[in-house]
Amino acid sequence: MSDSVLFDTTDGVLTITWNEPDRLNALTAEMLHDASAAIEGVSEDIRLIVVTGSGRAFSSGAALGAGFDGSATLDGANRLVRAITRTPIPVVSAVNGIAAGVGCSIAIAADITIAKSSGYFLLAFINIGLMPDGGSTELVAASIGRARANRMALLGERLTADDAAQIGLIHKSLDDAAYDAELAVLIGKLGRGPTVALGLTKAAIAATTLTRLEEALDREREGQISLFSTADAAEGGRAFIEKRAAEFTGR
């Protein structure tokens, strides 16, 4: 494991921290698989898992640019979303800033998501000629409904943490100054809770609300891989790296 993901186990809480602050915690396949392995292999004394980011971002999404392997990153993201949603341990996403692209998908895959009010959520895929992945076509719609999911996915507009909380995408938006203290309270409550009951409750709610998550992950993977070879995706990638608006041709 590299220092790109930090792991801390204290008082029965496993904290996973994306640790590439200079690139807004852009995620590589290796980072995603490391986090997945930690959740899949969690020890019996762990009663809560927290996922967060260092610096001013939760995660800006996949690490695009030189060396980007789309299919490997997709597989890593899908593995992590499965690990988060399948583990009987409650998972909290502590969104300390930007949560974009697959970073947004991972943030909302948690059982409870809180965010700093200065943060935002963005399904940025359409802006670079791609489609949402990481299960977000199921996760977002299950949380806020079809119309709002289409708004996020098709328009590629950022959603403030305050708005995300108001419409039910996340549990709560917190004033930046109060964020650390309220996160500690939440961790304390869940970490001291009835672990077995929490796990069964989590599984029951997921069985009712995320009935087609597996289908969504497979469908997104198939669609995304086909999009990687389009001219629009190539243009979107160049535009992202060059920090300009993409000029799509529909091909």
Q: Which residues of the chain have pLDDT under 70?
A: 1
Q: What is the DSSP letter of 211?
A: T
Which domains, ranges and CATH numbers included, belong to the chain? 5-176 (3.90.226.10)
> What is the residue-averaged pLDDT of the chain?
96
pLDDT at 68: 87
**pTM score of the predicted model:** 0.96
Instruction: State pLDDT tens for residues 54-71.
Output: 999 999 999 987 788 999
How does DSSP assign 8-57, residue by residue? EEETTEEEEEE--GGGTTPBPHHHHHHHHHHHHT--TT--EEEEEESTTE
Instruction: State pLDDT tens for residues 8-61.
Output: 999 999 999 999 999 999 999 999 999 999 999 999 999 999 999 999 999 999
